[in-house]
């Protein structure tokens, strides 16, 4: 089980991002979630779904949210 408080903080930051910062914050959050995946606190599928939902709540179109989240998860994963 992930640190619910930290997970909620990250997702809230994405969901409340303003236009002009949504992609950058979604990418940042995806990198943080990838760290949680690496340490076994959350599954890749859950991290992906949570981040996409939060990005869409902020107003990103679905395809843009998917691409940004995948990019953050992959980039962070390649550093491990």
| Claim: this prediction has a pTM higher than 0.85 | yes
In the predicted structure, residue 80 carries a pLDDT above the cut 50:
no
Tokens encoding 36: 């949680």
Q: Is 47 strand, coil or helix?
A: helix
Number of domains in the chain: 1
Tokens encoding 35: 């760290």
How far apart are alpha carbons 35 and 68 in whole angstroms? 16
- Mean pLDDT (whole number) for 10-38: 96
Q: How confident is the model at residue 78 (pLDDT cuts 50, 70, 90)?
A: very low
Provide the residue range defining the domain that includes 48: 4-79
In the predicted structure, residue 50 carries a pLDDT above the cut 60:
yes
Distance from the Cα of residue 18 to its chain's centroid: 15
Q: How confident is the model at residue 77 (pLDDT cuts 50, 70, 90)?
A: low
């Amino acid at each position: 089980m992930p640190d619910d408080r930290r997970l909620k903080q990250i997702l809230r930051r994405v969901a409340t991002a303003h236009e002009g910062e949504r992609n950058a914050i979604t990418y940042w959050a995806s990198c943080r979630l990838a760290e949680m995946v690496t340490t076994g606190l959350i599954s890749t599928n859950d991290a992906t779904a949570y981040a996409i939902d939060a990005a869409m709540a902020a107003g990103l179109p679905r395809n843009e949210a998917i691409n940004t989240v995948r990019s953050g998860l992959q980039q962070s994963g390649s550093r491990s």
